[in-house]
């Protein structure tokens, strides 16, 4: 029963960023997201008090959707990051932590908000300009002739989600499988418009991860009783998108009065059997329907040696059409034209544990493949499925921009060093263009760099210290009990694996002052390959989204909340 | 009995000052934005005075009256609502200050103050109606200048152009970072829509009326990715595969109803009788086959006209989609009303409401027709 309640007036807040309540909430959100960032992150379990499924995750898309706040600024940031993730599916946590750090640093440095907004925008264009340059020190060109870099990229994405609980050989296997599936969906012969194929993912619970595999063609669920006669090419396939269950739903909503002696069911069944006879005459061996098939028709067709598959579902219709070039038939009464039949090269049965599946091999080159994903329990399997979808999306993005950025926090420290150096050099001209004083410009640039570095430091969660290399500006984490004298003898690699050892290089702790320097690019003759890579397009866009959202939040001076 | 409340001048001043404090922070080029959330959970940001004030739920009838005046003012002028409220607040403050300075007589305090205030207000109104125009003409106008609407893309030397006006307007609405970009975008849009023979007022009016159908919101990209696209964008994907052939021009037909007619509506009754030897058995199968055959004939008529694109306002059944795919035509369903009306306006055809009669006047010619990927949607 609904009650009529008088509408209460709106709640107004003046200058929300000055209120401690809002600042506390933003700080809390930042700590929450910081602790879920990176491969050593802490997992989060999301409960709903009313009921519903319990989700364990560290993915930004799931976490952010689970956070609901009454504070409109938090919803604004959340909406903006979710939009980015839905478009690029990676670097969501990076964008969120960077954005919140920018807002926090802005509160600390005490500059006027308008000045900060302008300087942030200027520094963002500086960063994106540097990243788009050919000689950028943190960019790695992806070589499509060898699969090594693609596998490294896939592995970085997969290992950044610790919920999947994958051991070393398992994550290597899954990244190989993911890259294989991606390469299968890229068509070989290029027609006018290149259209990428699809990977259909089939999850299987209870098996070891190493049993995951990719197959070209489609895998379909089959009913138990399948008298399998070995069939060979070329096989014709009839695909129906209308319901063959014997109900005529297109007639409308009116009433039908049936007089005694007229049997509508048998009339409809006769029509269906006519259809079956025509199909048999055309030597169709595979009969597939999106909806339900009448059991008498099924029995009739099976009796005559046709494999019948019903209840395919709408999600599998599109890949099946792409695989076999069939045209789905939606009418029951017209004769089926021979061009509407699809072609399948071979049909075989595959067994996965207790599940039996029918494998359809394509007639020619096709871009449709099926991936079987196995894992020990449901939670890890769901996360693995999400991660594989993300990996596919990230690999597809590399088709447009064949480069990647160094991972492990090295890109962030590199960019921070570059921005510090550049801002010291062009202080006078930038401050006159932006209409602020030189000190203000330097303070704002310092806040920007500190936010970037705090994102890099949030990668380590076990109480280790972060350092920066003073020659190439790479990021390194060391246990915090290492003292100054031992710094020279350290040989651990940096976050991305390219810079080793401390012998000839100088290092400094990340949250102390160091002299601004121009980060030198690494020698191209280095035999080392980076072991952690990040997607270029996703990260550049994440950078842009974070700065623009931070600017938007800094620009908000008044909040009106409707509490009805 | 409705409770009565006497309205003192200071209460009036309090109410208007409350409204003033809301919009104060977003006034001027250095002003910030106001964030407001609706009860649907939707979050909006704005600097526009009209949006901010109309989004408030106000209980006080006087405040509601003031907001209504602001809204009416803004509907006519389009701008200046914050200025309105600020001027109103400062006028009331001055009147209140002057009225309370008058020495108080033997009459009760309230009525003298109210009477003086009223008297002052009347005199100000008289001044505004009679003498203000001359003052403006003498002292203010020489500092202003005329803006010509003829050429949108020109920036003259002294910066006295249409673009300067747009830039300042966008500065107060969108902030420093985006104003230049949007000014350029809008000028480009206006220059593309210029109709040769009519004045610029026609194109601006047309754009104003049809703006919802002329723009698409794409989320997930930075602001600087906004740009103009040639042609009309219909915000629905093709329900059937797009024609790959290169035959141009494409012919399109707009449908207002269903292609496959629904035979029975609620209230109709279909009687099936058992026939005797003389007449045939009428089976229910015949009815459904009749609908399919009628669909086939419609598609055949369309094919004979060479039509390859069908724009429909309603959702069609899967039989229609399958038949259209087989005939090589592409179908777009559930196109919104505004887009259909814009399409009809631009191409000059009439929609087909009865599928049996398709005549040449229903057929429009298109130069190109392809699917477009915007963000994550086609």
> Least CB-CB distance to A242: which of B31, B267, B319?
B319
pLDDT tens profile B281-325: 455 666 667 777 777 777 777 777 777 777 777 777 777 777 777
- Residue A330, both tokens: 């939606």
Is B35's CB within 8 Å of A560's CB? yes
* B249 prior amide bond cis, ω within 30: yes
Is B285's CB within 8 Å of A333's CB? yes
pLDDT (0 to 100) of residue B275 = 47
Q: Of the candidates A27, A29, A68, A35, which has an alpha carbon nearest to the alpha carbon of residue A162?
A: A35
pLDDT (0 to 100) of residue B281 = 46
Contact criterion met (CB below 8 Å) for A380 and A57: no
Q: Please determine, for residue B195, whether its predicted confidence score (pLDDT) is greater than 80.
A: no
Higher pLDDT, B53 or B113: B53
Nearest Cα residue in chain B from A246: B285
Most confident range (mean pLDDT) of A101-105, B190-194, B363-367 is A101-105
Place of tokens 């609904």: A2
Q: Does B300 touch chain A (CB under 8 A)?
A: no
pLDDT (0 to 100) of residue A361 = 83
Q: CB neighbours of B327 closer than 8 A, spacing ≥ 6?
A: B299, B302, B303
Using a CB-CB cut-off of 8 Å, the residues of chain A touching B38 are: 562
d(CA A388, CA A155): 10
Nearest Cα residue in chain A from B276: A261
What's the whole-number average pLDDT of chain B?
A: 71
- In DSSP terms, A236 is beta-bridged to A343
CA of B208 to nearest chain A CA: how many angstroms apart? Answer: 27
What pairing do the DSSP bridges indicate for beta strands A342-352 and A307-309?
Answer: unpaired
Contact criterion met (CB below 8 Å) for B2 and A528: no
> Least CB-CB distance to B32: which of A86, A329, A555?
A555
CA of B148 to nearest chain A CA: how many angstroms apart? Answer: 30
Confidence class for position B44, pLDDT limits 50, 70, 90: confident
Contact criterion met (CB below 8 Å) for B305 and B360: yes
Is A254's CB within 8 Å of B264's CB? yes
CA of A370 to nearest chain B CA: how many angstroms apart? Answer: 23
Confidence class for position B157, pLDDT limits 50, 70, 90: very low
Confidence class for position B156, pLDDT limits 50, 70, 90: very low
Is A87's CB within 8 Å of B375's CB? yes
CA of B358 to nearest chain A CA: how many angstroms apart? Answer: 23
Give the percent of chain B with pLDDT over 90. 1
d(CA A494, CA A474): 6
Question: Helix count (H) and strand count (E) of chain A?
Answer: 15, 20
Q: Does B290 touch chain A (CB under 8 A)?
A: no
Is B222's CB within 8 Å of A544's CB? yes
Contact criterion met (CB below 8 Å) for B9 and B99: yes
Q: Does B291 touch chain A (CB under 8 A)?
A: yes
The alpha carbon of A342 is separated from its chain's Cα centroid by a whole number of angstroms, namely 33
Q: Does B297 touch chain A (CB under 8 A)?
A: no
B102 in helix, strand or coil? Answer: coil
pLDDT tens profile B82-124: 888 888 888 888 888 887 776 554 445 556 777 888 888 888 8
Interface test with A, best of B67, B242, B272, B276 (most A CBs within 10 A): B272
Using a CB-CB cut-off of 8 Å, the residues of chain B touching A242 are: 318-319
Edge to edge, the sheet with strand A11-14 lists A11-14, A556-561, B33-37, B43-46
CA of A186 to nearest chain B CA: how many angstroms apart? Answer: 19
- Residue A120, both tokens: 């942030």
Contact criterion met (CB below 8 Å) for A227 and B239: no
ipTM reported for the complex surpasses 0.85: no
A349 in helix, strand or coil? Answer: strand
Q: CB neighbours of A184 closer than 8 A, spacing ≥ 6?
A: A197, A199, A214, A216, A367, A369
Give the residues of chain A that fall short of pLDDT 70. Answer: 1-2, 189-194, 224-233, 247-262, 480-492, 501-506, 511-528
- Residue A176, both tokens: 């190989």
> Least CB-CB distance to A556: which of B32, B272, B273?
B32
Place of tokens 């914050």: B82
Confidence class for position B262, pLDDT limits 50, 70, 90: low
> Least CB-CB distance to B270: which of A254, A271, A551?
A254
pLDDT (0 to 100) of residue B276 = 44
Q: Dmax of chain A from CA atoms?
A: 102
A67 in helix, strand or coil? Answer: coil
d(CA B68, CA A468): 60
d(CA B5, CA B60): 12
Query: What DSSP assignment string belongs to A147-199?
Result: SHHHHHHHHHHHHT-GGG---HHHHHHHHHHHHHHHHHTS-SS--SS-----E
Contact criterion met (CB below 8 Å) for B331 and B239: yes
Nearest Cα residue in chain B from A328: B322
Place of tokens 């292609």: B259
* CA angle (A545 as vertex; A543, A547 as ends), nearest 5: 70
Q: Of the candidates B187, B141, B194, B137, which has an alpha carbon nearest to the alpha carbon of residue B162?
A: B187
Most confident range (mean pLDDT) of A61-75, B100-114, B223-237, B358-372 is A61-75
- Residue B282, both tokens: 């009428």
pLDDT (0 to 100) of residue A103 = 92
How many alpha carbons lie under 13 Å from residue A208 in its C-beta half-sphere? 6
Contact criterion met (CB below 8 Å) for A153 and A187: no
- In DSSP terms, A509 is beta-bridged to A467
A–B interface: beta-carbon pairs under 8 A: 201
Is A256's CB within 8 Å of B288's CB? no
pLDDT (0 to 100) of residue A550 = 92
pLDDT mean over B145-172 = 64
Tell me the CA distances in angstroms from B266 to A246, A254, B259, one per residue in order: 21, 4, 19
Is A251's CB within 8 Å of B176's CB? no
CA of B99 to nearest chain A CA: how many angstroms apart? Answer: 31
Nearest Cα residue in chain A from B38: A562
pLDDT (0 to 100) of residue A249 = 58
pLDDT (0 to 100) of residue A144 = 82
């Amino acid at each position: 029963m609904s009650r009529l309640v008088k509408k209460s007036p709106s709640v107004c807040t003046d200058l929300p960023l000055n209120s401690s309540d809002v600042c506390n909430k933003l700080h809390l959100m930042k700590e929450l997201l910081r602790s879920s960032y990176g491969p050593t992150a802490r997992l989060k379990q999301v409960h709903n008090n009313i009921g519903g499924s319990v989700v364990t995750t560290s993915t930004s898309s799931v976490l952010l959707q689970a956070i609901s706040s009454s504070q409109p600024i938090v919803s604004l940031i959340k909406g903006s990051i979710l939009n980015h993730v839905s478009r690029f599916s990676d670097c969501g946590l990076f964008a969120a932590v960077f954005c919140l750090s920018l807002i926090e640093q802005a509160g600390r440095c005490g500059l006027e908000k308008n000045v900060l907004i302008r300087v942030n925008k200027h520094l963002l264009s500086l960063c994106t300009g540097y990243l788009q340059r050919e000689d950028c020190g943190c960019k790695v060109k992806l070589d499509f002739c060898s699969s090594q870099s693609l596998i490294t990229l896939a592995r970085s994405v997969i290992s950044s989600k610790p919920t999947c609980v994958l051991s070393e050989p398992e994550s290597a296997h899954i990244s190989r499988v993911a890259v294989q599936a991606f390469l299968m969906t890229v068509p070989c012969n290029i027609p006018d418009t290149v259209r990428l194929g699809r990977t259909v993912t089939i999850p299987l619970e209870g098996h070891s991860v190493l049993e995951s595999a990719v197959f070209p063609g489609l895998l379909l669920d089959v009913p138990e009783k399948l008298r399998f006669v070995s069939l060979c090419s070329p096989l014709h396939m009839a695909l129906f998108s209308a319901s063959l269950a014997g109900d005529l739903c297109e007639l409308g909503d009116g009433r039908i009065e049936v007089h005694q002696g007229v049997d509508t069911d048998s009339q409809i069944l006769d029509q269906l059997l006519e259809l079956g006879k025509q199909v048999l005459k055309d030597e169709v061996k595979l009969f597939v329907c999106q909806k339900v098939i009448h059991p008498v028709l099924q029995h009739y067709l099976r009796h005559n040696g046709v494999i019948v598959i019903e209840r395919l579902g709408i999600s599998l219709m599109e890949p099946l059409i792409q695989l076999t070039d069939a045209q789905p038939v939606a009418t029951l009464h017209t004769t089926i034209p021979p061009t509407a039949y699809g072609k399948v090269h071979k049909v075989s049965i595959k067994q996965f544990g207790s599940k039996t599946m029918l494998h359809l091999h394509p007639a020619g080159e096709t871009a449709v493949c099926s991936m079987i994903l196995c894992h020990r329990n449901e939670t890890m399997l769901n996360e693995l499925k999400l991660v594989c979808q993300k990996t596919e999306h990230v690999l597809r993005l590399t088709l447009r921009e064949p480069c990647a950025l160094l991972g492990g926090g090295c890109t962030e420290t590199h960019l921070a060093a570059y921005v510090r150096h550049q801002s010291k050099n062009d202080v006078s001209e930038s401050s006159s263009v932006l209409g602020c004083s030189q000190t203000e410009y330097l303070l704002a640039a310092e806040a920007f760099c500190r936010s970037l570095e705090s994102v890099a430091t949030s990668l380590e969660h076990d109480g280790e210290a972060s350092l920066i290399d003073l020659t190439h500006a790479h990021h390194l984490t060391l246990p915090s009990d290492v003292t100054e004298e031992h710094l020279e003898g350290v040989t651990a690699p940096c976050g991305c694996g390219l810079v080793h050892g401390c012998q000839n290089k100088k290092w400094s702790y990340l949250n102390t002052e160091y002299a601004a320097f121009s980060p030198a690019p690494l020698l191209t003759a280095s035999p080392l390959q980076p072991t952690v890579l990040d997607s270029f397009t996703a990260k550049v866009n994440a950078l842009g989204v974070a700065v623009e959202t931070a600017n938007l939040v800094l620009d908000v001076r008044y909040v009106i909340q409707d509490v009805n | 009995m409705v409770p009565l409340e006497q309205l003192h001048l200071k209460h009036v001043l309090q109410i208007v000052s409350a409204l003033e404090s809301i919009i104060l922070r977003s006034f001027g080029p250095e002003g910030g934005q106001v964030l407001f959330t609706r009860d649907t959970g939707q979050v909006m940001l704005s600097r526009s005075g009209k949006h901010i004030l109309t989004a408030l739920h106000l209980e006080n009838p006087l405040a509601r009256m003031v907001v209504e005046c602001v809204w009416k003012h803004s509907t006519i002028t389009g701008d200046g609502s914050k200025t309105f409220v600020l001027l109103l607040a400062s006028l009331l403050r001055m009147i209140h200050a002057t009225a309370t300075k008058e020495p108080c007589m033997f009459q009760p305090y309230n009525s003298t103050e109210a009477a003086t205030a009223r008297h002052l207000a009347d005199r100000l109104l008289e001044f505004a109606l009679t003498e203000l125009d001359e003052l403006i003409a003498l002292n203010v106008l020489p500092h202003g200048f005329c803006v010509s609407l003829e050429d949108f893309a020109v920036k003259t030397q002294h910066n006295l152009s249409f673009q300067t006006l747009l830039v300042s307007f966008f500065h107060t609405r969108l902030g420093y970072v985006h104003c230049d970009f949007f000014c350029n975008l809008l000028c480009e849009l206006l220059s593309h829509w210029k109709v040769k023979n009519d004045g610029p007022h026609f194109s601006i009016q047309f754009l104003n009326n049809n703006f919802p159908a002329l723009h698409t919101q794409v989320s997930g990209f930075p602001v600087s990715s906004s740009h103009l696209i040639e042609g009309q964008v219909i915000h629905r994907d093709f329900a059937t595969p797009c024609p790959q052939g290169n035959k141009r021009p494409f012919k399109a037909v707009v449908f207002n109803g269903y292609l496959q007619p629904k035979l029975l509506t609620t209230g109709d009754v279909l009687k099936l009788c058992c026939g005797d030897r003389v007449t045939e058995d009428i089976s229910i199968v015949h009815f459904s086959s009749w609908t399919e055959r009628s669909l086939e004939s419609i598609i055949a008529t369309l094919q004979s006209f060479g039509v390859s694109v069908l724009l429909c306002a309603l959702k069609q059944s899967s039989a229609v989609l399958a038949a259209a795919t087989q005939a090589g035509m592409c179908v777009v369903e559930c196109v919104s009303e505004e887009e259909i009306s814009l399409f009809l306006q631009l191409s000059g055809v009439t929609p087909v409401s009865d599928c049996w009669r398709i005549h040449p006047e229903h057929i429009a010619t298109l130069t190109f027709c392809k699917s477009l990927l915007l963000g994550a949607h086609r």
